[in-house]
Amino acid sequence: MAANKIAPVQFAHVGMTCSNPLETEQFYCRYFGFRRVRTVDLASKQLIFLASADSAFRLELFQATEEAPVPAPGGTGPEWPALKHLAFAVQDLDEFLQQMGAAALITQQTVDLGGIVPGWKAVWLSDPDGRIVEVCQGYADEKSEE
C-alpha cells in the first residue's frame, strides 16, 4: 500500500459524552489502567482527560446534556454507522474477567476467534453508559512480506 504524501498525523483522543463522567472515569481507571491527566473547566461543565498507562491512548469525557435518543446497543456494538466499540488487549482474558467480577456487564460472551488469528479470543461488555468495550487476548497483525 502506497503511503500518502501528507504531514504526519498522531492519534489524539476519543471524545465520549457521559451521563456521569466521574463514574466513567472510575470504570476506565480501575479496569483499564487509565489515569486522569487534565481537567478543563468550561462555564458549568468540566472536561476530563484520561490517558492509558503508556499514554498512547486518551479519552476525553464530556457531561451529557441530553438523554440518549436510542437504546444502548448490545452484542459487539451497533450495526448502524457509528463507533462500534473500543477494544483493549489483555494477557489473560479469563483472569481479567474474574478480576472485574460483577462489574463485567457482558453483552456478547467470549468468542474463540482462533480460526481467524491463532490464539485470538474476545468478549464484549458494556461501560457505565452502555458503550460497548471489547476485551481480547492473542490478536496479532499479519506479518509483512516486505
Write down the pTM of the prediction. 0.89
The CATH number that applies at residue 103 is 3.30.720.110
Above 80 in pLDDT, residue 63? yes
> 105 Cβ partners below 8 Å, 6+ apart?
125, 126
Q: How confident is the model at residue 1 (pLDDT cuts 50, 70, 90)?
A: low
Radius of gyration over every alpha carbon of the chain, rounded to an integer in angstroms: 17
Task: Return the closest-CA partner of residue 48 out of 13, 100, 89.
Answer: 13
Q: Is residue 4 part of a domain?
A: no
Same domain for 101 and 130, yes or no, is yes
β 58-63/45-51 pair status: antiparallel
How do residues 48-61 score in pLDDT, each as one tens digit? 999 999 999 999 99
Last residue of a domain, one of 36, 65, 94: 65
How do residues 110-136 score in pLDDT, each as one tens digit? 999 999 999 999 999 999 999 999 999
Same domain for 40 and 89, yes or no, is no
β 86-89/58-63 pair status: unpaired
